[in-house]
């Protein structure tokens, strides 16, 4: 039996315990008191640009990687109230609306009443709707989410324009009783792979996290940005019609980004926003590949690079003043374009100008880039065209490159025989 000294009453222990909890609360407040700083963070910049473009974003990442924390910090930085909805614990009717019978259903119909969180968002007029654990939502719930993600409708209620939608999901291999995302739902999102950065985590745990901010759009470039985005996307799809719609045959890949008219429209919007904000290529790459997939996204980026290349006709008109790109792939594309222009309209003066351009490329860049264009251009010579003196400057580089290629073939052949 305990002694009287060890027996305490609720009345006497209450204040003491409350005081200790107050001290614990003070310690928790200090732990939660963190600062932010400007810092280059590619994935955070991609997320904020997609949010600014009013496109639904889906963050993919392993559990505990910081997806939820990133959304909380984003909402605080943008001064948007955060509404979190765990998709997997809701019924389809929570997103499609619950039928409410009125006084005269035959005349008024049966409206679909929205849930309380949707009503609060509508009353606020702005906010960040966070759909968490999307990959653990069963197919019926995913189907109910289609209209919410695309049309911003919950039952009979339409969410205001000031509401942005961001979702998070774990890969099926690490999700709790996970499902593959349905193709119709996946095609409505910009997919971003969320990974941790060691330096960001260490500095954040030390009390300073990267600062999220919306991109600064240049008002003077808005019209130019839209024109550029339309030229880029429409130019690619005109040349590659098979990319307009390509539904993956693999179920797992259907749950990610893939090209469709809807996702190309999203990519066009992202290119316009990135152009107006002068966003880095790395950020734009994350966004377009997360919208139409890796292959089509990389093709779009390459097409955008080619849009900035000099006009072959302008180069042929004044080869001495030609300003060739520094990047090897772009320089190769320019030289190939010049040779193709001569092929389309073969004239002695244009043929000579093309040789002058190849000499300039040889003097200012890697010699191997002129080998194929020089060989093709030589094959375009007409019988009555004199060989220009500039060819002598190229002959050494071309023959040296060919000898190197032949040597490489011989070495590979010897290695293949095991001698």
> How is the chain split into domains, by residue range?
37-99+109-210, 219-307, 312-417
Interatomic CA distance for residues 256 and 232, integer angstroms: 23
114 secondary structure, DSSP code: P
C-alpha angle with apex 75: 72 to 79, nearest 5 degrees? 140
187 secondary structure, DSSP code: T
Phi-psi region of 97 (alpha: psi -120 to 50; beta: other; left: phi over 0): left
Q: How do 162-169 and 57-60 pair as beta strands?
A: parallel
pLDDT recorded at residue 173: 66
**Looking at the predicted structure, is the pLDDT value of residue 162 above 80?**
yes
pLDDT tens digits, one per residue of 107-155: 666 677 888 899 999 999 999 999 998 888 888 889 889 989 988 998 8
User: Stretch 184-196: mean pLDDT, rounded?
Assistant: 93
Query: Looking at 58-67, 72-81, 362-371, which range is the least confident one?
Result: 362-371
Highest mean pLDDT among 28-32, 175-179, 361-365: 28-32
pLDDT tens digits, one per residue of 210-234: 888 889 999 999 999 999 999 999 9
Bridge partners of residue 163, in order along the sequence: 127
Q: How far out from the chain centre does Cα 101 lie?
A: 44
pLDDT tens digits, one per residue of 31-52: 988 888 888 889 999 999 999 9
- Better-scored residue on pLDDT, 5 or 387: 387
b/e per residue, 61-92, with b = 16+ CB within 10 A? Answer: beeebbbbebbebbbebbebebbebebbebeb
Contact 61, 195 (CB under 8 A): yes
User: Stretch 349-363: mean pLDDT, rounded?
Assistant: 89
Q: How do 126-132 and 162-169 pair as beta strands?
A: parallel
pLDDT recorded at residue 203: 87
Contact 70, 128 (CB under 8 A): no
Interatomic CA distance for residues 257 and 189, integer angstroms: 8
37-99+109-210 CATH pick, 3.40.190.80, 3.10.20.30, 3.90.1010.10, 3.40.50.300: 3.40.50.300
């Amino acid at each position: 039996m305990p002694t009287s000294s060890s027996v305490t009453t609720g009345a006497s222990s209450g204040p003491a315990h409350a005081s200790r909890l107050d001290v614990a609360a003070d310690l928790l407040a200090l732990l939660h008191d963190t600062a932010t700083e400007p810092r280059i963070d590619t994935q955070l910049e991609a997320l904020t640009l997609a949010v600014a473009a009013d496109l639904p974003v889906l963050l993919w990442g392993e559990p505990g990687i910081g997806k939820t924390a990133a959304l909380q910090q984003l909402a605080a930085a943008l001064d948007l109230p955060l509404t979190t909805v765990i998709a997997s614990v809701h019924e389809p009717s929570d997103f499609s609306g619950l039928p409410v019978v009125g006084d005269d259903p035959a005349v008024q119909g049966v409206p679909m009443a929205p849930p309380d969180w949707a009503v609060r968002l509508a009353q606020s007029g702005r906010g960040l709707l966070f759909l968490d654990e999307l990959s653990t939502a069963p197919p019926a719930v995913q189907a109910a989410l289609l209209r919410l993600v695309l049309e911003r409708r919950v039952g009979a209620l339409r969410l205001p324009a000031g509401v942005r939608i961001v979702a998070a999901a774990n890969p099926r291999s690490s999700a709790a009783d996970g499902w593959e995302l349905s193709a119709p739902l996946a095609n409505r999102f910009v997919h971003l792979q969320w990974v941790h950065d060691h330096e960001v985590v260490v500095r954040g745990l030390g009390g300073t996290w990267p600062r999220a901010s919306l991109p600064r759009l240049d008002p003077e470039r808005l019209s130019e940005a839209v024109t550029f985005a339309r030229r880029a996307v429409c130019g690619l799809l005109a040349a590659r019609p098979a990319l307009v719609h390509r539904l993956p045959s693999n179920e797992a890949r259907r749950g990610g980004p893939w090209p469709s008219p809807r996702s190309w429209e999203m990519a066009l919007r992202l290119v316009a926003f990135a152009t107006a904000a002068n966003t880095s290529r790395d950020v734009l790459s994350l966004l377009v590949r997360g919208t139409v997939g890796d292959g089509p996204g990389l093709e779009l980026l390459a097409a955008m690079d080619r849009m900035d290349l000099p006009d072959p006709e302008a180069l042929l008109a004044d080869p001495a003043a030609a300003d060739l790109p520094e990047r090897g792939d772009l320089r190769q594309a320019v030289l190939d374009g010049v040779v193709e222009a001569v092929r389309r309209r073969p004239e002695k003066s244009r043929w000579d100008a093309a040789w002058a351009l190849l000499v300039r490329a040889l003097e200012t860049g890697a010699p191997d880039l002129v080998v194929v264009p020089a060989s093709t251009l030589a094959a375009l010579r007409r019988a009555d065209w004199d060989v220009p003196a500039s060819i002598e400057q190229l002959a050494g580089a071309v023959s040296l490159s060919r000898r190197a290629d032949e040597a490489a073939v011989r070495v590979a052949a010897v290695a293949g025989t095991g001698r």
